[in-house]
């Protein structure tokens, strides 16, 4: 069976490798020639996928990576895993539409097309389906199968991976749902069929909106608790001892990655566009989380003021550029906004992150080389250290010992007299 995987990023590449391992013949397509070039040479740009895995897939003869549509041929299954960003605050489905048009030109009777890109409920039937029909001359649900399955890839998670994370699947009809379930069932332990593509699309947005709203709740509580001189971390730890009715979320410097800063807005946009009303929880959560970097900057400023130091001209070391620990994923990272805020106040900013490539670091900052001794020395010679991402590579005990003052935005640094928690 031949599979066309459109998009070879954090989502598409793991699906490609799993499908190859299950015996499918996979063509991985991506418009980024650097990605496909790396893959074709047996390398990997995704930390969760080892180069040896890509090399084994190539050596099996069941995988190839291409960036030109002329290199594509027909398929049995096509999976679309392309980005769905926001443009001017509104969903941008340009990549999905382009992918659907390309796939539609190759679609044959009996084929299956699955959308995995996160989007608003109704995209599969209202956007992707009509494009496929127009390009192929075939009818969805009659001549070909069409479905949606939300991605649940968590970069850096060593416990929950593609194969053991339950896979939600939904089709435009029962035959399509069965076809989607059969495909993913070949390499995912548990498949969860739902009644429609809209339910599957909403499932993904519900998961991320739940996290987004609860992170906003604890972030706002953290601000109030600080003003009330209460340790929010201790309160969360205590609440987490309740064995029912509570789920622990920790405050942080904001939200990053593709999911939380973007996905809930897809849902609120759809609600406003379709129903003419606002999704107040999402809009409030956006407001709180979007302003957390500003709050972090204010806390840095206040901490320096307490030590009779002005921000202007002071050295501030930020530990962590990625949006989450132990990954190189710096998409929508709140660190960039914190850097911008500090630079606007005249601070000299240094950033350390052993995972993120140098070319992704913001302009105007110094970079600490990937060496524990260099990071400890940078902490010793700075005026403030801010822990933004608790990478396992960071020796936080050594950093705290060396630094004059630490603002810990992660609740990961050891308690000490010079440590202040968010």
Contact criterion met (CB below 8 Å) for 91 and 120? yes
Tokens of 75: 């398929």
Element (H, E) at 398: helix 396-402
Q: Is 134 helix (H, G, I), strand (E, B) or coil?
A: helix
The helix, strand and coil proportions of the chain, stated in percent and rounded to the nearest 5, come to: 45, 15, 40
CA distances to 251, 337, 351, 355, 376 from 358, in Å: 28, 18, 11, 9, 19
Q: Check if the beta carbon of residue 84 is closer than 8 Å to that of residue 49.
A: no
Distance CA 4, CA 29 (A): 7
Report the DSSP pairing between strands 191-193 and 315-319.
unpaired
Rounded-to-integer distance, Cα 67 and Cα 31, Å: 5
Beta-bridged to residue 114, according to DSSP, are 79, 147
Tokens linked to 373? 């001794």
What is the DSSP secondary structure assignment for residue 415, as one 8-state letter?
Answer: P
CA distance 112 to 116: 13
| DSSP H or E stretch at residue 59 | helix 51-60
User: How do 366-367 and 167-171 pair as beta strands?
Assistant: unpaired
Nearest partner of 194 among 209, 211, 172, judged by Cα: 172
In DSSP notation, 164-185 reads GS-EEEEESSHHHHHHHHHHHH
How far apart are alpha carbons 268 and 336 in whole angstroms? Answer: 25
Instruction: Compute how many other C-beta atoms are within 10 angstroms of the C-beta atom of residue 173.
Output: 16
Distance (Å, rounded) from C-alpha 23 to C-alpha 182? 14
Closest by CA position to 348, among listed 319, 375, 379, 315: 315
Give catalytic residues, as residue numbers: 259
């Amino acid at each position: 069976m031949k599979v066309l995987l459109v998009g070879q990023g954090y989502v598409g590449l793991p699906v490609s490798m799993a499908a190859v391992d299950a015996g499918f013949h996979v063509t991985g397509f991506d418009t980024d020639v650097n990605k496909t070039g790396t893959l074709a040479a047996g390398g990997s740009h995704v930390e969760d996928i080892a180069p040896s895995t890509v090399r084994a897939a190539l050596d099996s003869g069941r995988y190839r990576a291409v960036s030109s549509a002329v290199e594509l041929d027909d398929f049995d299954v096509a999976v679309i895993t392309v980005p769905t960003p926001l443009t001017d605050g509104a969903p941008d489905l340009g990549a999905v539409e382009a992918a659907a048009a390309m796939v539609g030109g190759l679609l044959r009777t009996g084929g299956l097309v699955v959308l995995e890109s996160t989007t608003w409920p109704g995209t599969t039937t209202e956007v992707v389906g009509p494009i496929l029909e127009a390009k192929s001359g075939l009818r969805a649900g009659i001549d070909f199968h069409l479905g949606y399955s939300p991605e649940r890839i968590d970069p850096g998670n060593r416990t929950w991976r593609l194969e053991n994370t339950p896979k939600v699947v939904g089709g435009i009809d029962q035959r399509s749902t069965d076809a989607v379930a059969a495909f993913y069932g070949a390499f995912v332990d548990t498949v969860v069929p739902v009644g429609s593509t809209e339910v599957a699309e909403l499932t993904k947005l519900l998961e991320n909106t739940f996290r987004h709203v609860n992170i906003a709740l604890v972030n706002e509580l953290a601000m109030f608790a600080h003003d009330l001189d209460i340790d929010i971390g201790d309160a969360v730890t205590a609440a987490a001892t309740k064995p029912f009715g509570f789920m622990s979320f920790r405050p942080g410097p904001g939200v990053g990655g593709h999911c939380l800063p973007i996905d809930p807005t897809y849902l609120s946009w759809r609600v406003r566009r379709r129903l003419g009303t606002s999704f107040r929880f999402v809009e409030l959560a956006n407001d709180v989380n979007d302003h957390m970097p500003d709050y972090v900057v204010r806390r840095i400023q206040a901490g320096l003021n307490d030590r009779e130091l002005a921000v202007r001209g002071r050295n501030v070391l930020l530990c962590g550029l990625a949006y989450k620990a132990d990954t190189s994923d710096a998409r929508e990272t709140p660190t960039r906004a914190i850097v911008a805020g500090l630079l606007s106040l005249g601070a000299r900013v240094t950033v350390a992150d052993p995972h993120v490539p140098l070319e992704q670091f913001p302009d105007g900052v110094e970079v600490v080389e990937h060496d524990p001794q260099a990071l400890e020395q940078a902490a010793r010679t700075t005026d403030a250290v801010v822990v933004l991402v608790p990478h396992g590579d960071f020796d936080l005990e050594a950093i705290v010992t060396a630094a004059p003052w630490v603002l810990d935005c992660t609740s990961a640094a050891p308690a000490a007299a010079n440590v202040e928690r968010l």
